Each structure stands twice: as C-alpha cells, then as structure tokens.
Amino acid sequence: MFKKGVLRELFDSLFGKSWPMWVGGILLAMMNILLFVIKYPWGSSSGYTNIGQNLFQILGVTSLGTKVPISLHAVALLNIFVVVGAFVSSLFSREFGIRISPVGELVKGFVGGALMAIGATVGAGCTTGGFFTGLAALSGGALTLAAGFMIGTFVALRYLLWEMEALPNISMGKSFTFLIGTGKKTGWQRWLGWIMIAVVFFLFSTYTASSSGAMKIIGWHVMIGLILGMILQRSRYCIVRAFREPFMTGEATAPVAIILSILVSLVGFTVIKYFGVGNAGELATCAIEMKAVYANFWLRALIGGIIFGLGMTVAGGCAVGTLWRAGEGHVKLWMAALGFVIMAPVSKGFIVPAVKKILPESMQKHLFLPDILGYTGAVVLVLFILLLWFMFAKWNEKTGKFSAI
C-alpha cells in the first residue's frame, strides 16, 4: 500500500498541475543539448517540410515530393512524437479535449501555419531551430531572425486588435468541445495514455535494436520527442508568448523562461562546439561548429522572421507550440500544422529559390559569431543581448509602456 501511494503521489505531482515555465525551459534546454550530442540540435521546420513532401509524393506531385520517408527522417519523427508526448501528457492531466474553434479562427490557423512555413523556409529557420537553438549555437542569423519575429509579431498584433474592432464576426460563431477530460467517465484517457507510452517504447526498442547507427539515432529521436512533448505541455512552454506578451499584457514570465533556457543551451552548445565533442580532427571540429548556423545572415533571416512572426501570432502558436497544442486537441492548431505541412514544400521549391536569386550573397551568408569575435566575444555578445531582453521585459512588465492591453 505504501509503495502504491508513493507512486500515485509522484504521478499527481507531475500531472496534477502545470509546471512553472522556467522549469520546462531548463528541461527543454537539457534535451536540446542531448539532441546535439546524439546528432543535431533541436529544430522542427525541416520535419514539417519532410511530412509535406511525403504527402505530395503520395498525391503524385513528385516535383514537391521526396524519397526520404517519414519513418527515416529524424526531425519529422521528432515532430510527430512531440505531438504524441503532448497528447499523452494532456490525457494524464485530464486536460485533453477536442476543441473546435469558429470557422474564422480555423481559417486563421491555416493561414498562420502557411505563413510560418514561408517564413521558416525563406529565413532558413523557425523559432526553434533558427532562434532558440540558433542563438545558443552562436549563429548570427539567429539575431536577425529574432528581430524579424519581433517586427512580425508587433504588426500581427496590431492587425488582430484592428480585426476585433472592425471585423469582429471573423472570430465569432459556434465552437465545440468533445471528449473533455474533466467530464464523466474519463478514466479511459489515462489508460490510453499508458497504451501510447507502451507503443512509443516498442518503436524505440525496434529502432535501437538495429545494427545501423542511423536507426539508433532515429529511435532516440522518437523517445526524446515523447519527452519534449510532455515537458512542453506540462510547462505551457511557448516561444511565441515571449515575443507577443510584452506587446499585449506586458507579462514577463515567458521571456524570462526562454532567456533561461537559451542560457542553459548556450553553456552546453559552447562546450560541445569549442571542444568538438564526439569528433576527431580539425575538419570534424569545424563541421560541428557550424551546426545550427544557416546561410541566412542578415536580410534573408530578417525577411523570413517577419513573415514567420506574422504567422505564429495569427495562428496562436509557433513551430513547436503548434505541435503540443495540437496534441492537446486544439483543432485551430491542427489547421496551423496542416498549413505549415502543405506550404513548406511549395515555398522550398518555388519561393526560396526566387528569394536566394534576388538577394546578394552578402545578405544570406553563414555567420558563426566566434569567427568574428572569438568564442569569448561571441558568448559575451549573446549574454549582453539576453540581459537587455530580460531588463526590457521586466521594465515593461512594471510600466506597461509597450503593452496594448
């Protein structure tokens, strides 16, 4: 009886109430460092793209298709199992429910997802791989992506505020909720959660039992995706809130959590890159230093960031925020994910080549900050920027100078 009570107490402590977002930020940063050691740090836009390419391949549109199946694409599987992890976590916490928003909101979700796809492919990065991971990886493009996100978020918020006054009917209408966890006879939800975990463990063991190193890596992405999804859902971790809240409520909780998680990632990434962890020889060290450093500095990242910022604000979730909210049952975010999946291959195949052709090389180059400032200078610069962001967020929380509400 004692043992059963202790386990139930542990379960309730994990799923009885939401975690502080900063706790989720630290845990996510640790998972990100682990992903870097295994293969490549956390990103999500390439996973959306691969899923979309496979969809087009099935539909016979081979020009937008791919020969890499989802089952062999680590990032695509990571995205899918982030959804699964959030689904399991919401079942355990009785927070799952299929929530259907009014038609206008569903359309905004799809449009927002499509804009995120364009922004991520044009800017060579989303809020996860381009900014959250990119800044910790000392990528210069992450700085201009962040500037673009801020501009896009501000513009989108102004539009949404105008829409509420001038076109209120867009977001009005019937909404429905099904299978809500707080209703009667919901014990099946937790049983389903355990079944899903058993399925994930089976897939993990299947992949990792292979003699192929690549398959073992994919297996770990399946498991880490589950863990990421659970952490995201329990902590309500959301990067879009870090850019949106200062212009809305002024609340600094989200910016502080993201800053803290970037700090933890920065320490781990810097050690990995500086010492070339897991690599031998100068060539290997150089290769690992350039991970999560994309050819997007400076204007390409800025343009992509603005478009992505517009999309994530309209959709109500960024690349990973869309995934864990979809796992909770928010149909608007299902539409956002669908818009991302459909538009990403289209943008990669047609829009990105046009943008790359127009922009000069000086506006879309790889910029690894230590190449210019050295590791000490690059880390100090990132720390200084994070400090300024923290000071602005806390000052704005007290004064409300930039808050729309």
* Cα–Cα distance for residue pair 66/59, rounded to 1 Å: 12
pLDDT per residue as tens digits for the range 296-346 = 999 999 999 999 999 999 999 999 999 999 999 999 999 999 999 999 999
pLDDT per residue as tens digits for the range 49-99 = 999 999 999 999 999 999 999 999 999 999 999 999 999 999 999 999 999
Q: What is the pLDDT of residue 1?
A: 42
Q: What is the pLDDT of residue 280?
A: 43
Q: What is the pLDDT of residue 184?
A: 67
- CA distance from start to end of the chain: 51
Q: How many residues make up the chain in this entry?
A: 405
Q: What is the pLDDT of residue 173?
A: 87
Q: What is the pLDDT of residue 179?
A: 87
Residues of the chain falling short of pLDDT 50: 1-2, 279-283
Q: What is the pLDDT of residue 4?
A: 62
Q: What is the pLDDT of residue 253?
A: 96
Contacts of 404 (CB under 8 A, 6+ apart): 157, 158, 161, 247, 248
Contacts of 27 (CB under 8 A, 6+ apart): 231, 235
Amino acid at 277: V
Cα separation values, 315 from 179, 298, 311, Å: 23, 26, 6
Q: What is the pLDDT of residue 180?
A: 84
Q: What is the pLDDT of residue 281?
A: 45
Q: What is the pLDDT of residue 405?
A: 60
Q: Contact, 41 vs 31, CB < 8 A?
A: no
Contacts of 178 (CB under 8 A, 6+ apart): 97, 98, 100
Phi (first) and psi of residue 295, to 5 degrees: -80, 75
Cβ burial of 42 (10 Å; 0-12, 13-18, 19+) is buried
